[in-house]
Structure 1
Amino acid sequence: MPKMKSHRGACKRFKATASGKIKHERMNGSHNLEKKNRKRSRRLHQATILDSAKEKQIRRMILA
């Protein structure tokens, strides 16, 4: 059976931290920022840790 390939789209969107958690950027932070208030747009530019419900699935995609 051939080797499993990592999902290239997932590799561009998710990164594994040194402690093993999965980090990703928040959605809705790239355009139409004039409609969103300053506090919200600042918060959208911060990276966050992926929740545990999807962590196993994403880890399989990026570390294959």
Structure 2
Amino acid sequence: MPKVKTKSGAKKRFKLTGTGKVKRKHAFKSHILTKKSTKRKRALTRSGLVSSADMNRVSQMLNI
């Protein structure tokens, strides 16, 4: 059997924490920032965790 490759888009977007959870960035922070409030942009800067509903799909992409 050949090795299973990780999806290269997923490995750029997700990181594993020490406890095995998956960290992610927030969307809507790349362009058209003038109409978004400063508070909203600051909140989008922080990283979040992948929800339990999406964990199956993300773990398949990352082969974990």
Q: Determine what percentage of the aligned residue pairs are the same residue.
A: 41
Q: Following the alignment from structure 2 to structure 1, what is the Cα–Cα distance between the partners of residues 31 and 45?
A: 11
Q: Which digits, 9 at most, give the CA deviation of each residue in 1:7-54, with x for residues without a partner?
A: 010000011111110110000011111110011000111100010011
Could you tell me which residue of structure 2 aligns to residue 3 of structure 1?
A: 3
Unpaired runs of 5+ in structure 1?
A: none
The 5-angstrom pairing of residues 1-64 of structure 1 reads 1-63=1-63
Q: CA RMSD in A?
A: 1.2
In structure 2, distance between residues paired with 1:8 and 1:44: 23
Q: Which runs of 5+ in 2 are unaligned?
A: none
Q: TM-score, normalised to structure 2's length?
A: 0.90
In 2: Cα distance, 1:59 partner to 1:15 partner: 11
- Of structures 1 and 2, the one scoring higher in RCO (CA 8 A, sep 6+) is 1
Letter in 2 for 1:52: S
